[in-house]
Amino acid sequence: MAQLLFDSNRRGLKGLFRKLRSPDLSPTSDSPSGPSSPRTSSIVSRTGSSSSLASIGISTKSYGKKIDTIGHGVSAKVELYHHKQTNMLYAIKTFNPKESYETRDEYKARCSHEFNVVYGLNHVNVLKMYDFIPGFHTIQIVMEFAPYSLLKVIQMVKPSEEEITCFFRQVCEGVLFLHKNNVAHRDLKMENIVVDETATLKLIDFGTAFYFGKEKKLATGNVGTEALVSPEALSSIRYDAEANDVWGLAVLLYSMLNLSFPWKVARESDPEFKAFLLDKDILKDKYPESLWDATTNVLEVDPTKRLTMTQLQTVMGQKTPRHTECGVKIHQRTIRICMKKVQDVCL
């Protein structure tokens, strides 16, 4: 995207969107090319086993110079790298050393899961995994870089309902793509979505993602952010991970619009959720009027009656244009803020 940045400086925002519409940046053919391209190899199995790793890098030197630490969590840190010759930016995630109770193979399997589950899947709304670098003490993953989380963008820009609806459609497109490739995300919160300098949203953090396979295996385990988890995932040993993602999307949309969650947990013991069960319309003024009917069909407690991901995306396609077809003015402030962040690094 660095080249897009400088193209946009020359041609303006309208030129940027024309560039976005080009075939080279279509949802399934947007891998970078050229001498700085990440290593590619055979597509890996999406089981999360360390034996299925496709691309083994030697070091981070191929990805340029470390610029800054951009994130730090319980299990890993994320650093920004800049390859000066090609002006490419990379986010490199370095996992903490293995726990004392883990074997080396267990550690590698844990760290490689989020790489394996999406490596080789190319979609404009899913963050790319470029390389897997196993060191002696730590393991690193090389990823596509985007300047801000969706949460940060919404806090800074305070986008219009129209822009948020476009954002939400992009998220739905990314989730539908994952589902078509037999992967459920299982933690669709704003912190796990990033925004690049073209106002394109990308799903990140696949640590709790689940590969359900062609046989549609049921998921186990109550994982992810509690407020986003569906009632059936909280109450059942096994559940449909796709339906769980769909439920989480309705809660995500609420948080994008209101910067809060509608409840702490989707259990009857939660007073806000119990009030919702008694009267769904209690949330009606918290969602766009045009999406309320669809929202009520997504927030259906019975997962067999809930809208499917395909049905939800069909609704979004009727309510808002694709990102590259919406007016430039809708995203103007978002683009300028994200673009400046990238410029500060590249220039």
Tokens of 255: 């948080």
| Whether 286 and 209 share a structural domain | yes
| Whether 120 and 153 share a structural domain | no
SS3 assignment, position 278: helix
Are residues 13 and 328 in contact, defined by beta-carbon separation less than 8 angstroms?
yes
| Whether 160 and 179 share a structural domain | yes
Q: What's the order of all strands across the beta sheet hosting 201-203? A: 148-149, 193-195, 201-203
| Whether 139 and 153 share a structural domain | no
pTM equals 0.85
| Among 129, 145, 161, residue at a domain's last position | 145
SS3 assignment, position 282: helix
Binding residues: 93
Binding residues for ATP: 93
Best CA proximity match to 304, nearest among 227, 246, 253: 246
| Whether 54 and 121 share a structural domain | yes
- Check residue 46 and give its pLDDT: 58
Known catalytic residue: 187? Answer: yes
Domain with residue 67: its CATH number is: 3.30.200.20
* Tally of domains within the chain: 2
User: Which amino acid, 208?
Assistant: T
Tokens of 33: 């090319």
Best CA proximity match to 130, nearest among 64, 188, 76: 64
| Whether 203 and 288 share a structural domain | yes
Best CA proximity match to 176, nearest among 288, 303, 308: 308
- Check residue 281 and give its pLDDT: 97
In-domain check, residue 179: yes
CA 172 to chain centre: 10
- Check residue 73 and give its pLDDT: 83
- Check residue 341 and give its pLDDT: 87
Beta partners for 91?
80, 143
In-domain check, residue 160: yes
- For residue 209, the enclosing domain spans 148-325
* Per annotation, catalytic residue among 30, 187, 205, 240: 187
Are residues 219 and 186 in contact, defined by beta-carbon separation less than 8 angstroms?
yes
- What lies within 8 Å, CB to CB, of 129 at 6+ separation is 114, 115, 118, 119, 141, 142, 143
SS3 assignment, position 188: coil
| Among 115, 145, 175, residue at a domain's last position | 145
Tokens of 15: 């030129």
pLDDT tens figures, 68-115 = 998 888 889 999 999 989 989 999 999 999 999 999 999 999 999 999
Mean pLDDT for back-to-back runs of 10 residues, the chain (347 residues): 43 48 41 39 43 52 90 91 92 94 92 93 96 90 96 96 96 98 98 96 96 97 95 97 99 98 98 98 97 97 98 95 85 93 79
Residue with tokens 């844990």: 110
**What are the CA-CA distances from residue 275 to residues 70, 198, 225, 244 (Å)?**
40, 40, 21, 21
Which ranges of the chain would DSSP assign to H, the alpha helix?
2-20, 104-116, 150-157, 161-180, 231-235, 241-258, 271-278, 292-298, 309-319, 332-346
